[in-house]
Amino acid sequence: METEETAAETNTGRKAGEAGKAGGSLCDSGAVSTGSIPSAASEGNVGAEKTGDAVRTAEKAVSVYFLSGIGTWESGRMFAGAMRDIMERYRSEGYAFVHVRDLYPYGSMDGVHSKRFYRHLAKQALKVSRDMYVRYERNIGGRLAYEKIKADYDQYGSGDIILIGHSGGGIAAYNTAQLLSDDGYRVARVILVGAPEQWIHKDWHNRVHALRKAGRIGDWVTWLGKPCFGAPKVSDEVNIVGGHTDYFRWDKVDDNGVSNLQKVMDRIWQWLRPRDLSSS
């Protein structure tokens, strides 16, 4: 099993042909690289910045990608708070390089006319439904995210790769992870938040974790795909206010004043914190 340092060296070495193919920012929400721009990170609206080799090859480096599901607006900056949160957590652990980006593997709703809204949403839903049951090499959302992450990582990223997928983005995240792994990239963790159940290969059981809303009914989306005998072996529930679209909301708080965002990120961090990664 690779150590964290070895994984960082392996991934950082992949800076060849694809480095110039990124073609600029992948989305308006942008990416945040390294601890040198905390104020920009808090805004969640900056473009990726190429950093010096000394920083990118640091022993403690990580690249985190958030993947959205369907019916989402990039302009809504759904992951802005989570991106800032995860960056601050890694920095507090002494990471010299932290790269964070959000992706929309099934497209966004920005620019979709109201008359075409439901047709566009239905097309997205059909893609996710298909991706739940086809091999990862033929996965639509997974393939698109793989291409974008590969280009982005080669130009801006370093260290272990972490994938966090919400809803249908969780379907894409797991399939993306397999494609990246086949290509030699070190994917340390895949976190599925409010995602439909899907079969997970036994080789990935210790790296794929699922989080869903607590309760007898909980999140209806997580019931999709059931029964699934190959579902993630590591899963947990979180008490959030609201429903499926509210996991990353900072303005949804419980009676104790604790936000959904804090609860979700606290649980995710228990899976991601460095001492856990080093044991995988």
Q: Order of strands across the sheet with 187-193?
A: 31-33, 97-103, 61-67, 160-166, 187-193, 208-213, 234-238
Where do the structural domains in the chain lie, given as residue ranges?
4-275
Six-digit token string for 197: 């159940």
Question: For residue 217, how many C-alpha atoms fall within 13 Å in the half-sphere facing its CB?
Answer: 4
Half-sphere exposure for 45 (CA within 13 Å, toward CB): 6
In whole angstroms, how far apart are CA 64 and each of 99, 169, 173, 174, 264? 6, 14, 12, 14, 16
Which residues sit opposite 237 in a β-bridge? 212
pLDDT given at position 212? 79
DSSP code at position 26: S
Position 124: which residue type? Q
**Helical packing angle, 117-131 and 168-182, nearest 10°:** 50
Kindly state the tokens that stand for 231: 């579902």
Instruction: List, in order, residues 6 or more apart from 228 with CB less than 8 Å away.
Output: 197, 198, 199
Enter the pTM of the model.
0.74
Q: What is the pLDDT of residue 119?
A: 72
DSSP string of 189-234, one letter each residue: EEEEESPPP----GGGTTTEEEEEE-SSS--GGGGTT-S-TT--SE
The superfamily in CATH containing domain 4-275 is Alpha/Beta hydrolase fold, catalytic domain (3.40.50.1820)
Angstrom distance (rounded) from CA 238 to CA 246: 12
Give the residue among 105, 44, 99 at the shortest CA–CA distance from 75.
44
Per DSSP, the residues of 30-76 read: BEEESTT-HHHHHHT-B------HHHHT-SSEEEEEEE--SS--GGG
Cβ proximity of 8 and 63 under 8 Å: no
- What token pair was written down for 196? 């439909």
- Per-residue pLDDT in tens (0 to 9) along the chain, 280 residues: 433 333 444 444 443 333 333 333 323 334 455 433 333 333 333 333 344 555 666 678 999 999 987 656 665 677 999 999 999 999 999 999 999 999 998 866 567 667 776 776 677 677 666 766 767 766 777 788 999 999 999 999 999 999 999 988 888 999 999 999 999 999 999 999 988 888 788 889 899 998 978 756 766 565 475 555 666 666 678 888 888 888 998 888 988 999 999 999 999 999 998 874 444 4
CA atoms within 13 A on the CB side of 235: 19
If you ran DSSP here, which 8-state letter would residue 167 be given? T
Beta bridge partners of 106: none
Task: Return the pLDDT at 176.
Answer: 94
Give yes or no for a contact between 35 and 88, defined as CB atoms under 8 angstroms apart: no
pLDDT digits (tens, 9 = 90+) for 10-34: 444 443 333 333 333 323 334 455 4
